[in-house]
Homo-oligomer: A and B are copies of this chain.
Amino acid sequence: MGKNRLEAFSDGVIAIIITIMVLELKAPHGADLTALASVLPVFCSYVLSFVYVGIFWNNHHHLLTASTVVDGRVLWANLHLLFWLSLVPFTTAWMGENDFAPLTVAMYGVILFMSAIAYTLLEKALIVCNPRDAVITVALAKERKSYASVALYLLAIFTAFQHVWISFIIYSLVAVLWFLPERRIEALFKR
């Protein structure tokens, strides 16, 4: 079974997820700076989520470029990942509209945590399915980053109930961690 349609479907879903978040950015009723400032918290959570969904798309792209075929298990592991990612706009809006209340910030971490777990499961399903492909190298190259992210998300869920801003520093830190270019993976695909 070819991977093209899986990629196309995932691209469609992730493109919609990344774009509908901006629908939550409701145009404010006034036309002055105060009105604009009122959408600032929602805007900040939008930026963070845009970067996160972008990171997941990037990693998904690398992972599937390194794979050749998919099977039924991969299809479902992929849908499972898309399910958790599809909840990002909900939790982004909830967080932004409630001025980053502790529970909403923790919930944001829960969704990121579950997405990271789902991504790892997709990696495993792809490795089983493509044992001789570069997919395992891609996965291993990012292994430490993945474990660190999962641990940091967990930490952020708990710190949200003490100091919300610590959770935010953690979320931003993880984003920066993934944003930095990964020389090793890039090198893999350059021929």
Contacts and interface: CB of A to CB of B under 8 A. Distances in A.
A11 B22 contact: no
A189 B71 CA distance: 9
A25 B102 CA distance: 20
Interface residues of A, number: 65
Contacts of A23: 20, 23, 89
Given A103-B32, A103-B33, A61 B5 contact: yes
Report the copy number of this chain in the oligomer: 4
B25 A90 contact: yes
Interface of A: 1-2, 5-9, 11-20, 22-25, 27-33, 36, 47, 50, 54, 57-58, 61, 64-65, 71-73, 75-76, 79, 82-83, 86-87, 89-90, 93-94, 97-98, 101-104, 107, 179, 181-182, 185-186, 189-190
5 contacts: A9-B57, A19-B86, A31-B103, A58-B79, A73-B181
